[in-house]
Amino acid sequence: SALNNALSRPVMVTVLQLAGLAIKFPLNALFLYGGMGVPAMGGPGCALASMIISWLWFVAAAAILMRNPAYKPLAIFTQYSPPNRARLWALVRLGVPMGFTYLIEITSFTLMAIFIARLGTVVLAGHQIAANLGAVAY
């Protein structure tokens, strides 16, 4: 998705996410409540549905990157080169602080939801709405 955003091609990511969302609803229902020979799994069933969707996104995105002519000039999969330690270290120096900021942000919202859950469903729903608005604004 970062590559497509950098190339001003966010439509591919949007289409993949919408398709994944359309598939996730029936998969969640199937694994959550059971049916068609699949036992009801509850919460772990939702996790299984999310994992299936993530793998489908990966396979679809890789196929698009390999076959779409818009990505041919980038020569993404044309040759293999061994890892370059200097380049990797530069990426790690940039990526680790960015990763920690995401970790702190996501962890704080998650922990806050756990603390707020004791106050009732209405308060928790308000927190979820605020979190979603923050994500949309971001």
CA angle 101, 116, 129 (to 5 degrees): 70
pLDDT 10s digits, 27-37: 888 888 888 88
Question: Are residue 20 and residue 54 in the same domain, yes or no?
Answer: yes
Q: Structurally, how many domains does the chain consist of?
A: 2
Residue with tokens 């980038």: 74
Identify the three-state secondary structure at position 31.
helix
Question: Are residue 27 and residue 76 in the same domain, yes or no?
Answer: yes
Question: Are residue 45 and residue 88 in the same domain, yes or no?
Answer: no
pLDDT of residue 93: 92
pLDDT of residue 117: 76
pLDDT of residue 138: 64
Which of 45, 60, 81 terminates a domain? The answer is 81
Question: Are residue 109 and residue 67 in the same domain, yes or no?
Answer: no
* pLDDT above 70: residue 45: yes
Average per-residue pLDDT for the chain? 84
Question: Are residue 88 and residue 59 in the same domain, yes or no?
Answer: no
Assessment of whether the complete model's pTM goes beyond 0.85: no
pLDDT 10s digits, 69-126: 888 888 887 888 888 999 999 999 989 998 898 888 888 877 877 787 788 778 877 8
pLDDT 10s digits, 56-73: 989 998 888 888 888 888
> Within 10 Å of residue 24's Cβ, how many Cβ atoms?
16
Identify the three-state secondary structure at position 5.
helix
Question: Are residue 87 and residue 106 in the same domain, yes or no?
Answer: yes
Question: Are residue 73 and residue 120 in the same domain, yes or no?
Answer: no
d(CA 78, CA 63): 14
Give residue 3's domain range. 1-81
